[in-house]
Structure 1
Amino acid sequence: MSTSRDVVFPMGRQALYERNRYSPAVRSNGFLFVSGQVGSRDDGSVEPELETQIRRAFDNLDAVLQAAGCTFDDVVDVTVFLVDPESTLDTVWKVLPEYWGDAPHPALTGIGVTWLYGFQFEIKVIARLPDAIELEKGL
């Protein structure tokens, strides 16, 4: 049985995702499942400086969320992947509040990894779609 996926593409980056053969996000059952976002430039190349790379990853994530009509406030679950967490975690904690907003914060899992295709940080999330929230509230 074949099902089509309700895929979300941020503006201007569809060719990058098609070249790498994955979807940036998929809507399903009231949720948005966002693939891991890294600090890549528009051409897909690595942003070399760690803090800028983390900000770019959050900006890339934000673009995917916006394409689905979501914001960081809709995010319920986060997974971050860090190469060398001991040396990168402080920089992540420095940048994260600028994007996250006020409490309550989403659930968060951090995973130390040995390789991220040249990147040092990756973030993937699950967000609640605004339409699903409105339906739940009876609006």
Structure 2
Amino acid sequence: MTARDVVFPPHRRALYERNRYSPAIRSNGFLFVSGQVGSRENGSPEPDLEQQVRLAFDHLNATLAAAGCTFEDVIDVTVFMVDPASNFERIWRVVPDYWGQAPHPTLTAVGVTWLYGFQFEIKVIAKLPEAAGQS
């Protein structure tokens, strides 16, 4: 097996090393990004739901940028929400600020009962810019 080509966003390496996972891995022209949550600098959840969603997108965008990508390179999104019946509308008010223009990436939304104290998590697959000309 070849070594994983790990991408670390600025100022978050200790968090990933403490929790023993890679924030993102480049492979075969794609970037696979681990779930991003709205954590504060110390790793604790931001209590305000809408701000938590904004922080999750900020962390996602920092990870994408570390690999030379933007959200425009994202082709597949999976979001996890605790209590989506109550939280979906509040979460989706924030999403357009980060989502960009159509055509939008594919989306799978999953309702969950637990996210380690968080209410929202987003993971994506993006096409790396150097691979963008390949289909």
Would you say 1:89 and 2:70 are equivalent positions? no
RMSD, matched Cα: 1.0
**Residue 7 of structure 1: aligned partner:** 6
Superimposed CA distance per residue, residues 77-116 of structure 1 (whole angstroms, 9 cap, x where no aligned partner): 0000000001111112111110011100000000000000
> What is the CA-CA distance between 1:3 and the residue it aligns to?
2.2
Superimposed CA distance per residue, residues 62-85 of structure 1 (whole angstroms, 9 cap, x where no aligned partner): 000000000000000000000000
SS at structure 1 position matched to 2:123: strand
1:24-39 aligned within 5 A: 24-39=23-38
SS at structure 2 position matched to 1:51: helix
**Residue 52 of structure 1: aligned partner:** 51
**C-alpha contact (below 8 Å) 2:45/2:118 kept by paired residues:** yes
Give the aligned residue type for 1:15.
A
Superimposed CA distance per residue, residues 35-86 of structure 1 (whole angstroms, 9 cap, x where no aligned partner): 0000001111110010000000000000000000000000000000000001
SS at structure 2 position matched to 1:69: coil
Moved more, 86-95 or 27-36: 86-95
TM-score, length-scaled by structure 2: 0.97
Identical residues among aligned pairs (%): 71
Counterparts of 1:108 and 1:133 in 2: how far apart (Å)? 20
**Residue 111 of structure 2: aligned partner:** 112
**Residue 73 of structure 2: aligned partner:** 74
**C-alpha contact (below 8 Å) 2:49/2:91 kept by paired residues:** no
TM-score, length-scaled by structure 1: 0.95
Give the aligned residue type for 1:111.
V
**Residue 65 of structure 1: aligned partner:** 64
Structure 1: which 5+ runs fail to align? none
Give the aligned residue type for 2:21.
Y
For these two proteins, the number of residue pairs brought into alignment is: 135
Give the aligned residue type for 1:100.
W
